[in-house]
Amino acid sequence: MDGIDLRTDGIAVRDRFLTRPQIRALADSARKRRERGGFAAARIGADRRLQRRAEIRGDSICWLTEPLFAPERALLARLEGLRVQMNREAFLGLFELELHYAWYPPGTGYARHVDQPQDRNQRRVSLVLYLNERWEPSDGGELRIFGDDERHRDIEPKGGRLVVFLTDRREHEVLPTRQSRLSLTGWFRSRE
């Protein structure tokens, strides 16, 4: 079962959401998109104020747009099941999913931030799914999620691991990685 429970502290970590062949197939789809030039340096800010600030955010991203590869389509069908389940259990009013690959080369990270562009709150639930086949603690690149009291939790980007959290004001960062780090990152959005 794919059940995700956000009702306790608004964060859920699910290991082995993907099997090794599924991880490999999605990493392969990402590689094909990259070879076609589908990845671009990520920028920060909103709309006309978007800017590249590699010292804040060093990844390159590629949105999951049509045409989709078969492993991508299969994943989206599963995540649709997750959307329906979360709506049923937590009444989140989730309407659609936006999803992109994120590739961090060695030496990069993403400084502490929240996921809502200013003045907008359609992003209700953040999701990160890691596609790294091998990951060692010495590789860095943890997702650090902060609590209300400055305590934090570090989550290694192990292949197949799914992290889901309520987007609202939740501060988090990607610690500098020493290995090439690949994930799928996205948001379940509400209509308004």
Residues that bind ligand OGA (CB under 6 A): 102, 110, 115, 128, 143, 157, 172, 174, 183, 185
168 binds Mn ion (CB under 5 A): no
- Least distance CB 181 / ligand OGA (angstroms): 7
Cα–Cα distance measured from residue 72 to residue 19, given in angstroms and rounded to the nearest whole number: 14
- The nearer residue to ligand OGA, 75 or 174, going by C-beta atoms, is 174
Interaction of residue 139 with Mn ion, rule CB under 5 A: no
What distances in angstroms separate CA 157 from CA 47, 58, 91, 171, one per listed residue?
29, 16, 29, 17
Tell me how far, at minimum, the Cβ of 85 lies from ligand OGA, in Å. Answer: 22
Whether 15 contacts 160, CB under 8 Å: yes
Q: How far is the CB of 87 from ligand OGA (least distance, A)?
A: 22
Please report whether residue 115 would count as binding Mn ion according to CB under 5 A.
yes
The DSSP H or E segment spanning 110 is: strand 110-113
Dihedral angle at the C-alpha atoms of 71, 184, 165, 112, nearest 10 degrees? 180
Kindly tell me which of 88 and 134 has the beta carbon lying closer to ligand OGA.
134
**Closer CB to ligand OGA, residue 89 or residue 133?**
133
Residue with smaller CB distance to Mn ion, 22 or 188: 188
User: What is the closest distance, in whole angstroms, from the C-beta atom of residue 88 to Mn ion in the complex?
Assistant: 26
Of 190, 187, 167, whose CA–CA distance to 94 is shortest? Answer: 190
What residues contact residue 128 under an 8 Å CB cut-off, 6+ apart? 143, 157, 162, 163, 164, 183, 184, 185
User: Which positions lie near Mn ion, rule CB under 5 A?
Assistant: 115
